Amino acid sequence: MTGRRLQYAGLAVLVALPFVGVPEYYMHILVLILIWGFVYTAWAIMGRFGLVSLGHGAFLGIGAYTVALAWNLLGLTPWLGIPLGVGLAVLVAVVIGYPCFRFRVVGHYFALVTLALGEVVRLTIVALRDHTGGSLGLTPNRYGEGTSLYALQFADKEVFYVIALLLWLAGIWIWRRVDASMARFAMDALSEDEDAAASVGVHVTAQKLRITMLSAALTALGGGVYAQYLLYVNPGTVSGIGVSLQIVFAAIAGGMFTALGPTVGAMITIVLAETLRIAIGTEVIGLDTTIYGVMLILFIIFLPKGVLGGLIELYERRTAGGAGAMAGKREVGGGA
Amino acid sequence: MVFDIYLLEAIINGLLLGGVLALLALGLNLIFGVIDVVWISYAELVMAGMYGVYWLYAFFGVPLVLAALIAIFGVAVLGFLVHYLVISPILGKPPINQLLATGGLLFFLQSFATLLFGVEFRNIGLRLPVIELWDMYFSFARILAFAAALIGMVSLYVFLKRTFMGTAIRAVAQDREIMATMGVNTRQVYLITSAIGGGLAGLAAGLLVLQYDVHPAVGLSFGPITFMICVLGGLGNLLGGFVAAFIMSQFISIGGFYLDLEWGYVIAFVFFIVMMFLRPQGILGRRG
């Protein structure tokens, strides 16, 4: 129906963008939105089930630093470096996740354990400063002229746009696969009541672990691509409490219960920051994040479902005259 | 060498650091124990207090002790406002929402400080003497901080045990629903607890500003360790937090002595994660 037609039209526009000569600056913004949108979506895959991780910076940092270090120190191509980073992130997710879920570390406690994990990764990167460059960050070595498929380095922003678009589409596709799976019902059930879910045959620990591993893997993948795109990684921007909270809040601001919500969160935060930066200039720093902070508080108080979630709810309430209510929900859930 | 005098120095410095960390954990634990809310932005209140002391002392020439007292009062008001404006509208919502709302506050306070003061590191420019004792060196600021933190904790203990309001706070911490039916104004108790929590953050600010530079992100450097301490001691368990603060500060201090300061923190955090699996209820927690 219209939702589906809208989807194809949107996709066509996204695919056409690099061919119509969008200025480099806007291309850069678009790539950032797509990569961060992918990372926020990866967080929302587990966040929507009440597994609020405040430590996804750990996975992002592992993904970004593994690929950069493998390239600089071992000469390992990012085509192997990125899977290596993803593997490491999954390993860390299991090491932390299994005991957490086995011993019922939930809610506040889970949030704070993951927060510690994010800080462990950040401080480890800083402490290994002989190899990682410490808090000054790390620049992957340029390969030849700067464009190479082997090194996954491209001078043209358009190439990275295509990569980021594919990545993001894959993220949305996985989100919807999870949304339509049996695992989703199991996760919904156990996020309400673990004991009740276990009593009807949900393997609580295994189920949570699988969703956490998936989320960690995707986040590390996003981190690797981010490092390849910027060709610069910094422990403060890819790991630690700062970026971990940034991930959580952007996903919530956009709406973590819909497929496109986290991407909308990425759009809002990046566009807001860039617009304010241009409008005010770089002398007045901090205004964009000040407004962002106030917005977050207001969102959580008044619009806990996020911008997109809130809009959808409003739309449903308008259109839900009678029998359409449930159908509308399905339409939106599947087609947003 | 059988006995390492520098190791002893590191241990005693760790003890002194533990005092301030215990004070920080106390405020956070009090708020959690009574209101059942984790203020992720607690360390940012301390940052606000540090800026307050800095500006009063360095720019307006207010005596340091008076500046610290004003900061305590100011941050107490801030704590009151945090509960009044941010927490109370969503008190009945899932706990994670409250945690996230204070996370938004963290961004706000940090950015607002950047907006007002810039990202520069600022120092109050006061050089307190260093005390030498049998070849070991201790900064006077740390000893002062330790002593003041102990006084602050004892005063809170007396307040909780000896006054009517303190008793009401302890009662609410034990059972929120029942106390409301017994005529305790829980709303008032929450607001007063938040103000006390803020006041403790203000006291910590006055002590930390003597030792560390102020910058908008300063809260991130001791915020996470404060949460770890509270959880390690059992969230809401005041005594547990006190003990945990000294355990964690020893990890940081001795780890920093043998390796690097960052490794000290890494070891402390890894210890925390391991302890979460061995005793998720906290080292002194009783909950099974």
DSSP state of A23: -
CA distance A275 to A284: 13
Residue B1 has pLDDT above 80, yes or no: no
Q: How far is CA A37 from the centre of its chain?
A: 6
The closest CB to that of A105, out of B105, B119, B280, belongs to B280
| Cα–Cα nearest to B98, from B41, B176, B29 | B41
Rounded to whole angstroms, the Cα distance separating A36 from A249 reads: 12
Phi-psi region of B142 (alpha: psi -120 to 50; beta: other; left: phi over 0): alpha
d(CA B287, CA B279): 10
- Calculate the CA dihedral of residues A296, A298, A299, A300 and round it to 10 degrees: 90
From the list B93, B114, B266, which residue is nearest A120 (CB)?
Answer: B266
Mean pLDDT, residues B139-149: 80
Q: How confident is the model at residue A322 (pLDDT cuts 50, 70, 90)?
A: very low
Looking at every residue in chain B, the average pLDDT score rounds to 81
Provide the token pair at B190. Answer: 């929450």
% of chain B beyond a pLDDT of 90: 4
**Shortest Cα–Cα distance, B74 to chain A (Å):** 20
* Structural element, H or E, at residue B134: none
Distance CA A240, CA A256 (A): 22
Contacts of B103 in chain A (CB under 8 A): 245, 248-249, 296
Q: What average pLDDT does the structure give for chain A?
A: 82
The enclosing H or E element of B88 equals none
Q: Residue A247 — φ and ψ, nearest 5°?
A: -60, -50
Smallest CA–CA distance, residue B40 to chain A, in Å, is 10
Parse chain B into domains and list their residue ranges: 5-278
Residue A30, burial from CB neighbour count under 10 angstroms (0-12, 13-18, 19+):
buried
Q: How many CB atoms lie within 10 A of CB A202?
A: 21
Contact criterion met (CB < 8 Å) for B93 and A304: yes
What Å distances lie between residue B85 and A255, A298, A315, B15, CA to CA?
Answer: 23, 10, 29, 37
**pLDDT for the residue A181:** 83
Sign of CA dihedral A149, A154, A159, A164: positive
Helical segments of A180-305, H only: 182-192, 194-199, 204-230, 235-238, 240-254, 261-280, 287-302
Q: Is residue A84 part of a domain?
A: yes
A248 touches chain B (CB under 8 A): yes
**Is pLDDT at A74 greater than 70 in this prediction?**
yes
Interface of A with B in 108-147 (CB under 8 A): 108-109, 111-113, 115-117, 119-120, 123-124, 126-127
Q: pLDDT of B230-239, one tens digit each?
A: 888 877 778 8
Q: Which of A42, A24, A6, A33 is nearest to A165 (CA)?
A: A33
* % of chain A surpassing 90 pLDDT: 20
Q: Is the pLDDT of residue A326 over 60?
A: no
Predicted pLDDT at A82: 92
Q: Above 70 in pLDDT, residue A37? A: yes
A335 contacts A281 by C-beta, under 8 angstroms:
no
Question: How far is B125 from B197, CA to CA, in rounded Å?
Answer: 28
pLDDT at B147: 85
Question: Mean pLDDT, to the nearest integer, of B8-36?
Answer: 83
pLDDT tens for residues A211-246? 999 999 999 999 999 998 988 888 888 887 888 888
**A299 vs B: CB within 8 A:** yes
Please, which pLDDT band fits residue A190 given cuts at 50, 70 and 90? Answer: confident
Name the band, by pLDDT with cuts 50, 70 and 90, for residue A333.
Answer: very low
What backbone torsions phi and psi does residue B215 show, to the nearest 5 degrees? -155, 160
Q: pLDDT tens digit string along B69-116?
A: 898 999 999 989 888 888 888 887 777 778 778 888 888 888 888 888
Q: How far apart are CA A331 and CA A66, in angstroms?
A: 40
- Given a contact cutoff of 8 angstroms between Cβ atoms, the answer to whether B47 and B109 are in contact is yes
Separation in Å, CA of A193 to nearest CA in chain B? 14
Looking at residue A207, its pLDDT comes to: 85
Run of H or E residues at A256: none
**pLDDT at residue A282, rounded to an integer:** 64
pLDDT more than 70, % of chain A: 93
Mutate to test the interface with A, among B121, B276, B281 (most CBs of A within 10 A): B276
% of chain B surpassing 70 pLDDT = 94
Instruction: With CB atoms and an 8 Å threshold, state whether B228 touches A112.
Output: yes
For residues A95 and A87, give the distance between their C-alpha atoms in angstroms, rounded to a whole number: 12
With contact defined as beta carbons under 8 Å apart, do A241 and A118 qualify? yes
Residue A2 pLDDT more than 70?
no
Chain B residue with minimum CA distance to A52? B96
Query: Alpha-carbon Rg of chain A, whole angstroms?
Result: 20
Average pLDDT over residues A163-187: 87
Alpha-carbon dihedral angle through residues A265, A26, A215, A302, given to the nearest 10 degrees = 0
What is the structure's pLDDT at B282?
A: 67
In DSSP terms, which residues pair with B130 in a beta bridge?
B139
User: Which domain does A187 fall in, by range?
Assistant: 23-241
Give CA–CA dist A315/A299, Å, rounded: 18
Give chain A's domain count.
Answer: 1
Mean pLDDT, rounded, for B249-259: 79
pLDDT of A328 reads 38
The interface pTM score, or ipTM, of the predicted complex is: 0.78
Q: B19 pLDDT exceeds 80?
A: yes
Say if residue B262's pLDDT is above 80.
Answer: no
Is residue A83 scored above 90 in pLDDT? yes
pLDDT score, position A324 = 43
User: Looking at residues A67-94, what average pLDDT do you find?
Assistant: 90
Position B62, amino acid? V
**B189 or A336: whose pLDDT is higher?**
B189
pLDDT at residue B3, rounded to an integer: 63
Mind listing the pLDDT tens digit for each residue in A252-303? 888 888 888 899 889 988 888 788 777 776 667 777 778 878 887 887 788 7
Question: Is the separation of the CB atoms in A335 and A5 below 8 Å?
Answer: no
| 3 state SS of B286 | coil
Predicted pLDDT of residue A320: 67
Fold of B5-278: ABC transporter involved in vitamin B12 uptake, BtuC (1.10.3470)
Using the predicted structure, report yes or no on whether residue B124 has a pLDDT greater than 50. Answer: yes
Weakest mean pLDDT among A208-212, A294-298, B119-123: B119-123
